[in-house]
Amino acid sequence: MADLIFIAIVAGLLAVAFRKPGAACGYVLSGIALEQCAQVFVPMANSRDTLCNYLTAGAVLLGFAGRILHDKSALPRIRPMSLWVLGLLAYAYLTVLWSIFPATTMAALNRAVPYLVTFAGVAPLLIRSERDLWHCLTAFMYCSLLSLGFLVVFAEWGYRGVIFPGKSYESNPLALAGAAGGLLIVSTLMPLGPKVSTRMRYGLMAVIVIVTALVFVRTASRGQVLSAILITLLFSLRQRGGVWLMLGMALGGAALYGLMPEEVARNAERWDPEQMRDAVDSARINEADRLLTFWSHSSISHQIFGLGHAAAQDPRLLGNYPHVVPAEVLAEEGIFGATLFAITIFLGGYTYFRGLRATDPTKSRIFTAAAALFAFEFLLIWKQGSLLGASALFLLLALVPKEERSRAAVAPTQAPRRTAAVARLGLEPGRGSPVRPRG
Mean pLDDT over 172-181 rounds to 91
Spatial CB neighbours of 333, under 8 Å, sequence gap ≥ 6? 91, 92, 95, 305, 306, 309, 340, 341, 387
Residue 37 has pLDDT above 70, yes or no: yes
pLDDT in tens, 123-136: 999 998 888 999 99
What is the C-alpha separation between 340 and 202, in angstroms, rounded? 43
334 or 435, which is more confident?
A: 334
pLDDT in tens, 358-411: 667 778 888 889 999 999 999 999 988 889 989 999 999 988 765 434 333 333
pLDDT in tens, 222-238: 889 889 989 988 888 76
Task: Answer for the pair 392, 175: CB distance below 8 angstroms, yes or no.
Answer: no
What is the C-alpha separation between 36 and 149, in angstroms, rounded? 12
Region of residue 132 (left: phi > 0; alpha: psi -120 to 50; beta: else): alpha
The pLDDT of residue 100: 95
The pLDDT of residue 421: 40
The pLDDT of residue 358: 61
Residue 277 has pLDDT above 80, yes or no: no
The pLDDT of residue 17: 94
What is the C-alpha separation between 56 and 37, in angstroms, rounded? 14
Above pLDDT 90, what percent of the chain? 45
The pLDDT of residue 237: 78
Task: Answer for the pair 197, 241: CB distance below 8 angstroms, yes or no.
Answer: no
Domain ranges of the chain: 81-127+270-422
What is the C-alpha separation between 47 and 45, in angstroms, rounded? 5
Residue 314 has pLDDT above 80, yes or no: yes
Q: Which of 64-78, 243-257, 279-293, 309-323 has the lowest mean pLDDT?
A: 243-257
- DSSP string of 298-315? S-HHHHHH-S-TTGGGST
Residue 429 has pLDDT above 60, yes or no: no
Which range is most confident: 165-179, 186-200, 358-372, 395-409?
165-179
Model-level pTM? Answer: 0.85
